[in-house]
């Protein structure tokens, strides 16, 4: 009887071990590549033509408002579906093109964590190259946002692991909204008591979060209101002065375009402004993005600004790390 019991125990252990191994091997591997790197899957004969130009326009167009030209994404490589290797499947972002007369209309679908985790695969299907190009041109912002969102989710997840709760309480007290502020920021002193400034310092670079409230006219159009908000931001920037250089102050760069957009984030309509800032009579400068929330009942606007000083670094990823925080606001 003891021998029979032992045999059953051994069989049970083997079955449990087999189940564990099956479960472990079925889980996706960790993704390869850096943030915002994309592998494009497309037939070679289709890639060597105008389709590749359209894909590059979609993925490698310049991000507005940065101090230097930087693309939305970095195309790592293009591979044919017939020659794809296991390593190619494991990149965090994949853009796949399927061109076949079997498709009645151009469309796209999104799949997550198929071959690796975290991973987003965007598959664009169309009957022919012309329809695929037309779809990319008409839906460029939406396609980029799908891929941006997947990266943003991971950025927020990392920031949430070590939040600066005291600063988040302070931000809520200043604005009435709660927003994630990650570890490493501290509250800096300002000459303007109505301007709140959070700062994270690194060697040779810094990340800034500013916030203030201002009056606005609900009867103005978005275009006219954007001019008012730009002026308000510039006036607040002017109160931040250099300690080392006389007659120097922060300002929105008068030589660079400010890009205006309207977005809805977490159900809240916001005015988005992207541009560059600089310090008058000094050599400092960088990129910024500002989000404005309008309260029609009080005719008050809450402005949240993310700014970056990183003269020796590419700025796209550092700015996206900052602006991802606005997606936690509620």
Q: Which domains does the chain carry?
A: 29-158 (no CATH), 163-328 (3.40.1000.10)
- pLDDT digit string, tens, across residues 262-279: 999 999 999 999 999 999
pLDDT of residue 53: 97
189: number of Cβ within 10 Å: 6
CA distance 120 to 115: 10
| Helices 316-323, 140-160: crossing angle, 10 deg rounding | 70
Contact between 272 and 290 (Cβ < 8 Å): yes
- pLDDT digit string, tens, across residues 175-214: 999 999 999 999 999 999 999 999 999 999 999 999 999 9
- pLDDT digit string, tens, across residues 6-47: 444 444 443 343 433 333 345 678 899 999 999 999 999 999
The closest of 290, 295, 286 to 263, measured between CA atoms, is 290
Residue 49, CB half-sphere, CA atoms under 13 Å: how many?
A: 11
pLDDT of residue 286: 97
CA distance 81 to 85: 9
pLDDT of residue 5: 44
pTM of this structure: 0.89
The closest of 97, 95, 89 to 113, measured between CA atoms, is 89
The pair of three-digit structure tokens given for residue 2, joined into one six-digit string: 């003891």
Bridge-based pairing state of the strands 116-117 and 29-30: parallel
CA distance 155 to 149: 10
Average pLDDT, the chain: 91
- pLDDT digit string, tens, across residues 51-90: 999 999 999 999 999 999 999 999 999 999 999 999 999 9
């Amino acid at each position: 009887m003891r021998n029979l019991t032992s045999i059953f125990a051994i069989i049970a252990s083997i079955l449990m071990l087999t189940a564990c191994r099956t479960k472990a091997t079925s889980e996706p591997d960790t993704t390869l590549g850096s943030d915002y790197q994309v592998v494009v899957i497309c037939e070679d004969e289709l890639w060597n033509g105008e389709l590749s130009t359209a894909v590059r326009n979609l993925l490698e167009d310049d991000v507005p408002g940065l101090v230097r030209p930087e693309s939305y994404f970095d195309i790592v490589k293009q591979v044919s579906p017939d020659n794809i290797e296991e390593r190619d499947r494991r990149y965090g972002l994949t853009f796949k093109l399927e061109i076949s007369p079997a498709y009645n209309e151009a469309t796209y679908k999104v799949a997550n964590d198929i071959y690796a985790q975290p991973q987003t695969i965007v598959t664009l299907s169309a009957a022919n190259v012309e329809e695929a190009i037309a779809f990319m041109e008409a839906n460029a912002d939406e396609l980029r946002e799908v891929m941006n969102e997947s990266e943003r989710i991971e950025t927020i997840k990392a920031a949430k692991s070590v939040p600066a709760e005291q600063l988040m309480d302070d931000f809520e007290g200043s604005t009435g909204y709660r927003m994630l502020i990650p570890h490493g920021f501290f509250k800096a002193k300002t000459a303007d008591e109505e301007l709140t400034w959070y700062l994270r310092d690194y060697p040779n670079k810094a990340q800034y979060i500013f916030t203030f409230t201002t009056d606005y006219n609900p009867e103005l159009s978005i275009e006219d209101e954007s001019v008012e908000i730009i002026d308000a931001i510039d006036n607040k920037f002017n109160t931040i002065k250099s300690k080392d250089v006389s007659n120097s102050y922060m300002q929105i760069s008068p030589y660079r375009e400010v890009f205006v957009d309207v977005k809805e984030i977490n159900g809240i309509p916001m005015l988005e402004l992207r541009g560059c800032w600089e310090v008058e009579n000094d050599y400092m400068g960088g990129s910024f993005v500002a989000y404005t929330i309008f309260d029609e009942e009080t005719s008050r606007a809450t402005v949240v600004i993310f700014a970056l000083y990183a003269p020796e670094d590419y700025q796209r990823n550092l700015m996206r790390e900052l602006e991802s925080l606005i997606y936690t606001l509620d």
